[in-house]
A and B are shown apart, each in its own frame.
Chain A
Amino acid sequence: MVGLQLDRLTARYGSEEILREVTTPRFPGGQVVGLLGPNAAGKSTLFRRIFGLLKGGGAVCVDGAESSRPIVYMPQDTGANAALTVYESVLLARMQGRRLKVSDEDLDRVDATLAELGISEIAKRELGNLSGGQRQMVGAAQALVQQPEILLLDEPTAALDLNRQIGFLALLKRIARDRGMLILVALHDLGHALRFTDQAMLLQSGRLVDCGPTASVITSDTLWRVYGVKARIEPCSRGVPQLIVEMPD
């Protein structure tokens, strides 16, 4: 099974250092790892560095990968309007670097991906006519259709309604487990992180503050230090840990 480990990873824009020696233990396939941290903590930069779009020091160590391009990255949606249907835009993601000719197998993969995400009904719509949430689901389809072994998702739930958020994160958890895929997902909702991620990485100003099982990373102490928020983590009546935020004075 695939594994990912980061070793003293750095990145800079010009003279500004965005990532400072991020080192993690090995994350094994089959897990969902939450990438947490306040705005401008360097979450997107870390993804771009892992994917190879940014140069810098340190090493991204991938082991056990079967394909030559195991990592797929889904950036935040920028809302571009192309005269393409949803179906074509997902096919497009699959066809990069391949021949111009589309095979039945390619179409089957697109169909299966759209069905898996529950967006088959918008396949014929043009990208320009989608809501923010639908765009985000299409972005996820564009990533999944590439059959990644390691998937980097940058805030995939930001524009989704509650039902879609829960459904999408549950699906990620299932896909990771069933296919032995490693999914790194940047999240702002720490409640969702507690619920759906196996491990978490907490970033602040480009530095890795903490890393490990999610429940050990999200604590009253780290919430206060990193987010400046007073909060408690308490089990609900069914024993599931919940985040309870206290009103600022």
Chain B
Amino acid sequence: MSSVPGNMAEGRGFYRALVFRRQAILVGIVAALFLSTCADLALGPARYSLGEVFAALFTPDAVDVQARVILWEIRMPVALMALTVGASLAVAGAQMQTILSNPLASPFTLGISAGASFGAALALAFGVVLVPAAVDYVIPINAFVMAMLTSFLIHTLSMRRGVTIETIVLLGIAMVFVFNSLMALIQFFADQQAVSAVVFWTMGSLTKATWTKLWISTGVLALVLPLLARHGWALTAMRLGDAKAESMGVNPKALRLEVLVLVSVLAAIAVCFVGTIGFIGLVGPHVARILVGEDQRFFLPGAALCGALLLSVGSVLSKMILPGTIIPIGIVTSLVGIPFFLYLILNKKSSTW
């Protein structure tokens, strides 16, 4: 057990190299995001070359009015919404997995998406308005309210004595089944047209995006990210187990509650504007974990960027699979993402989870 000077310098060099590699990966994802967003802008009923997209982006006055309107007013909110919603869902999933020590935790498996769907369905099928609001916002607000009620219910139940973190995930899954039954009930009683609307909403679609919705969801993301980053070391410590985290001075119960509230809002905002997109919140964090590890200084931005990239690429593919048709994004992300995900988890070297 004698100290070896050679080893000491080596450890420090190893860590610096590790940090550099992670930063490089994050920069790489940002570059990929930029390309994917440009492709997303170029594709659609009217196709533009990447050159035209760049021109419209950087010198909007030099391109003709039609291209400018299509790119800036119609496609830009959708393309950017993919980034914000993808990032929000993946960050929410990442922190749920972190604080609940469960690889299956995500906005979808905790019932937040299902709650949102139920709220939206109430408005779509029966015109039930939970909070009076402008016509454009009745459905998102209904969805948001139900999503928050779901997470509030889960918080309340989880505060009871003897409820472990494993129980919280089971509660979430129970909520999913409850809302699925309620959704079936609504579809049973609603008329044909309303049923179509409900089904379409639950498939998830970015085409509902507008600049206002984009600003709201981006604003919430921009507020929540620094609040999570502040707890970077503590959140990383949570992955060593409550006992270890406590011994390092973290208060796991208080941190868990605060983070659960923050990510519930994040997920609810994302889901209420675009509908159910289940895959990103579960897989985005896993991809980030494989790429940059679980040190939150890299994991948090990594999860956000991976989620944004997955949804942006999904948006591009949803326009390419059947030319002339935009397939609902919720369908595309799962179908295209799962082979990629399987490749990653079956090829990784370490045994995380």
Q: CB within 8 A of A128: which of B11, B18, B237, B350?
A: B350
| Bound CA–CA A41/B14 (angstroms) | 43
Set B9, B247, B249, B293: member contacting A83, Cβ < 8 A = B293
Collect the chain A residues with CB atoms within 8 Å of residue B249's CB.
Answer: 69, 96-97
Minimum CB–CB distance for B164 against chain A, Å: 13
B246: Cβ under 8 A from any A Cβ = yes
Say yes or no: A96-B233 contact (C-beta < 8 A), given A108-B12, A111-B12, A117-B1: yes
A96 in complex: contacting residue of B3, B16, B250, B353, CB < 8 Å: B250
List residues of chain A with CB within 8 A of the CB of B1. Answer: 116-118, 167, 171
**Binary flags per residue of A121-156, CB closer than 8 Å to B gives 1, else 0:** 101101111000000000100110010000000000
Does B248 belong to the interface (CB within 8 Å)? yes
Chain B residues positioned under 8 Å from A143 (CB to CB): 247
Find out whether the CB atom of A115 lies under 8 angstroms from the CB atom of B4: yes
A120-B8 in contact (CB<8A):
yes
Q: How long is the Cα–Cα vector from A127 to B229 in the complex, in angstroms? A: 23
Q: CA separation between A241 and B232, bound complex, in Å?
A: 50
Asked whether any CB of chain B lies closer than 8 Å to the CB of A67, the reply is: no
Give 1 or 0 for each of B230-247: 1 = CB within 8 Å of chain A CB: 001110110111011011
A234 to chain B, nearest CB (A): 31
Find the B residue at minimum CB distance from A79: B241
Interface string of B1-31 (1 = CB under 8 A from A): 1111001111110111010000000000000
Asked whether B350 lies within 8 Å of A129 as measured between CB atoms, the reply is yes
Which residue, B8, B11, B16, has most C-beta atoms of chain A within 10 A? B11
Q: Kindly list chain A residues whose C-beta atoms are within 8 Å of the C-beta of B244.
A: 75, 78, 80, 139, 142
Contact of B240 among A82, A107, A118, A126 (CB under 8 A): A82
In the complex, which residues of chain B have a beta carbon less than 8 angstroms from the beta carbon of A110?
A: 11, 15
Near A by CB (< 8 A), chain B positions 46-90 give none
Q: Is A92 in contact with chain B by the CB < 8 A criterion?
A: yes
In A61-107, the 8 Å CB interface with B consists of 69, 72-76, 78, 80-85, 87-89, 91-93, 95-98, 100, 104, 107
A53 within 8 A of B: yes
Which partner residue on chain A sits nearest B242 by CB separation? A78
Q: Shortest beta-carbon distance, A110 to chain B, in Å?
A: 7
Interface pair A83/B11, CB less than 8 Å apart? no
Closest residue of chain B to A95 (Cβ to Cβ) is: B233
B251 to chain A, nearest CB (A): 10
A96 near B15 with CB under 8 A, answer no
Which residues of chain A are near B9, meaning CB under 8 Å?
111
A74: nearest chain-B partner, CB-CB: B247
Question: Is A27 part of the contact surface with B, judged by Cβ < 8 Å?
Answer: no
Select one of B15, B229, B250 contacting A91, CB under 8 A. B15
Cross-chain contact A115 with B7 (CB below 8 angstroms)? yes
B351 interfacial by beta-carbon distance below 8 Å:
yes
User: Closest residue of chain A to B19, judged by CB?
Assistant: A102
* A51 contacts the other chain (CB 8 A): yes
Say which size band chain B's interface belongs to: 35 or more
A127–B131 CA distance with the chains assembled, in angstroms: 48
Bound Cα distance A206, B63 (Å)? 81
Tell me whether A128 and B10 are in contact (CB under 8 A): no
A100 to chain B, nearest CB (A): 5
Cα A128 to Cα B349 in complex, Å, equals: 10
Shortest CB distance B178–A (Å): 31
Of A83, A88, A115, which is within 8 A of B8 by CB?
A115
A112 on interface, CB distance cutoff 8 Å: yes
Interface residue A4 (Cβ < 8 Å from any Cβ of B): no
A114 proximal to B (CB < 8 A): yes
CB nearest neighbor in A for B251? A53
In the bound complex, what is the Cα–Cα distance between A91 and B246 (angstroms)? 16
Establish whether residues B297 and A84, one from each chain, have CB atoms under 8 Å apart when the complex forms.
no
Q: Are B240 and A115 in contact (CB under 8 A)?
A: no
Tell whether B294 is near chain A: CB-to-CB under 8 Å: yes
Query: Which residue of chain A has its CB nearest to the CB of B295?
Result: A88
* A75 & B243 in contact (Cβ 8 Å cutoff): yes
Instruction: Give the chain A neighbours of B18 by CB distance below 8 A.
Output: 85, 87-88
B285-307 near A? 1/0 per residue, CB < 8 Å: 00001100111010000000000
B180 within 8 A of A: no
Interface centre among B249, B293, B353 (most CB of A within 10 A): B249
Asked if B14 and A124 sit within 8 Å, CB to CB, the answer is yes
Cα–Cα, bound, A167→B11 (Å): 22
30 A-B pairs with CB atoms under 8 Å apart are A75-B243, A78-B241, A80-B101, A80-B239, A80-B241, A82-B236, A83-B289, A89-B240, A92-B240, A92-B295, A93-B237, A97-B249, A98-B233, A104-B12, A107-B15, A107-B16, A111-B9, A112-B8, A115-B3, A115-B4, A115-B7, A120-B7, A120-B8, A120-B10, A120-B11, A121-B7, A128-B350, A146-B248, A167-B1, A171-B1
Given contacts A83-B352, A91-B15, A107-B11, 20 further A-B contacts (CB under 8 A): A53-B246, A72-B247, A75-B247, A78-B241, A80-B240, A81-B352, A82-B236, A96-B237, A110-B15, A111-B8, A112-B8, A114-B11, A115-B7, A116-B1, A120-B8, A120-B11, A121-B7, A139-B244, A146-B248, A167-B1
